[in-house]
Amino acid sequence: MPMTSRKRKLISSLSALGAALALTSASFLSQAQDAAPAPVAPVAAGAPAVTMVGELGSVPAPVLGARAWISLDMNSGQVIAAQNIDERIEPASLTKVMAAYLVFEALETKRLTLEQTVHVSENAWRTEGSRMFIKPNTQVSVHDLLQGMIVQSGNDATVALAEAIAGSESAFVALMNEEAERQGLTNTKFTNSPGLPHEEHLTSVRDMATLASNLIQRFPQYLHYYAQKEYTYNNIKQNNRNRLLWADATVDGLKTGHTKSAGYCLIATAKRDGRRILTVLVGAASDSARAENSLKLLNWSFQNFDTVKLYDNDRAMVTARVWEGEAETVGLGSTSPVWVTVPRGKADQVRPVAKYQQPLIAPLNKGNRVGEVSLSLDGHVLRTESLHVLNDVPQAGLIGRLYDKVRLLFE
């Protein structure tokens, strides 16, 4: 709306008044200027509902013979498609992904080394289920036990590692549950380290996908264990139970699981042309069914969707007006590159919709979170990202700040 002559005169008068007040109240304003500025607060707004990108594609998700499943694009962090995503299910030996996470963490913090030997207790040796066939009261290296736990899915190896880290399996399980809470795995509770059946030992495919994704991102230096096809210990050769390691050269993990009550389960991951997809499938009827269904889901996810980088972390998504600052505008963007997964061929149709704190009042520091941006396709939100200030904006001088205060009265 055009500014009237009356408004212009009022602004001019108020500006003059502000300058006069500044001269007569210099001491007070000087003290106020020296006070620490209030931090920029996040926008208090509910996040918009996110649509799984698989719902927008022209090729529907395959029909899979499983109780629950999920496909996750790790580059963008988006769930492509899922079934019974938050239903609480028995994880069986998928539990060992959390056990491995804690072992890798102990290695990184130097609480363990790969060459270190671990005492095999009677308790570890007697653990039922799949076995590495370690002998009681012997010393076995962490490197060997990791292969036994990951390649052979040895419950005995898992308990031996748990005792080495925490002193007892029960103490290790407490650490597993603490880590689950830290990662936001709200449907997960562990009662043992290998994944033996228990009515309270439960998770969901969403939680397992989050855990596996975190492990891959944080500990890439240990992923070779998951791609290892076989391991021989105590003159006993055992193959990795993940059939996809033989079926598809792009598959490099991750973990199988099976009990009578859980059915056949598989966390699978493959990397093709720099793009990584992770799938979790539980409750299949057989070993071959979990492999075939997982590969079907991986192929559908790669073939029908693109993942593209929309913004680098130094590129502004939004240019925002700044008040009381030395600059009138500032770029808002993400602190890390922003990737988005879309149906094939639709990357150029993604639109950003920003919501951020208004007015933005200087001083602003690079990295301040001031809002969020939703990336939408055909009106459907695919993902949301926090908006951060990309450059410092110092406060303007006293007259400039007073001038902007008056201008804000008419915004």
Our count of domains for the chain comes to: 2
Q: What is the pLDDT of residue 30?
A: 31
Across the chain, what does the average pLDDT equal? Answer: 89
| Residues 36 and 73 both lie in one domain | no
| Residues 104 and 38 both lie in one domain | no
| Residues 337 and 234 both lie in one domain | no
Greatest Cα pair distance in the chain: 95
User: Is residue 226 one of the residues assigned to a domain?
Assistant: yes
User: Is residue 373 one of the residues assigned to a domain?
Assistant: yes
Residue 105, class by beta-carbon neighbours within 10 Å (0-12 exposed, 13-18 middle, 19+ buried)? middle
User: Is residue 61 one of the residues assigned to a domain?
Assistant: no
Q: What is the pLDDT of residue 34?
A: 31
The rounded distance, in Å, linking the Cα atoms of 283 and 88 is 12
Find the domain containing 326 and state its range.
5-50+310-408
Q: Are 169 and 192 in contact (CB under 8 A)?
A: yes
- Residue 165's nearest CA partner among 130, 203, 114, 118 is 118
The rounded distance, in Å, linking the Cα atoms of 370 and 4 is 33
- Map residue 262 onto helix, strand or coil: coil
| Residues 315 and 391 both lie in one domain | yes
Q: What is the pLDDT of residue 28?
A: 27
| Residues 234 and 330 both lie in one domain | no
pTM of the entire predicted model: 0.85
User: Is residue 294 one of the residues assigned to a domain?
Assistant: no
How many other CB atoms are there within 10 angstroms of residue 152's CB atom?
A: 25
| Residues 256 and 324 both lie in one domain | no
Question: What residue type is 20 in one-letter code?
Answer: A
| Residues 259 and 192 both lie in one domain | yes
Q: Please list the pLDDT of the chain residue by residue as tens digits (411 residues).
A: 444 444 454 445 444 434 433 433 333 223 323 322 222 222 233 446 899 999 999 999 999 999 999 999 999 999 999 999 999 999 999 999 999 999 999 999 999 999 999 999 999 999 999 999 999 999 999 999 999 999 999 999 999 999 999 999 999 999 999 999 999 999 999 999 999 999 999 999 999 999 999 999 999 999 999 999 999 999 999 999 999 999 999 999 999 999 999 999 999 999 999 999 999 999 999 999 999 999 999 999 999 999 999 999 889 998 999 999 999 999 999 999 999 999 999 999 999 999 998 899 999 999 999 999 999 999 999 999 999 999 999 998 888 788 878 888 887
Instruction: Give the residue numbers marked as catalytic.
Output: 93, 96, 153
| Residues 334 and 187 both lie in one domain | no
Q: What is the pLDDT of residue 48?
A: 63
| Residues 269 and 352 both lie in one domain | no
Q: Write the CATH number for 339.
A: 2.60.410.10
Q: What is the pLDDT of residue 215?
A: 98
Residue 285 CB contacts under 8 Å (≥ 6 apart), including other chains:
65, 263, 264
Q: How wide is the angle at C-alpha 7 spanned by C-alphas 4 and 13, nearest 5°?
A: 145
pLDDT tens profile 307-329:
999 999 889 998 999 999 999 99
| Residues 133 and 274 both lie in one domain | yes
| Residues 35 and 175 both lie in one domain | no
Q: Write the CATH number for 200.
A: 3.40.710.10
User: Is residue 303 one of the residues assigned to a domain?
Assistant: no
| Residues 87 and 229 both lie in one domain | yes
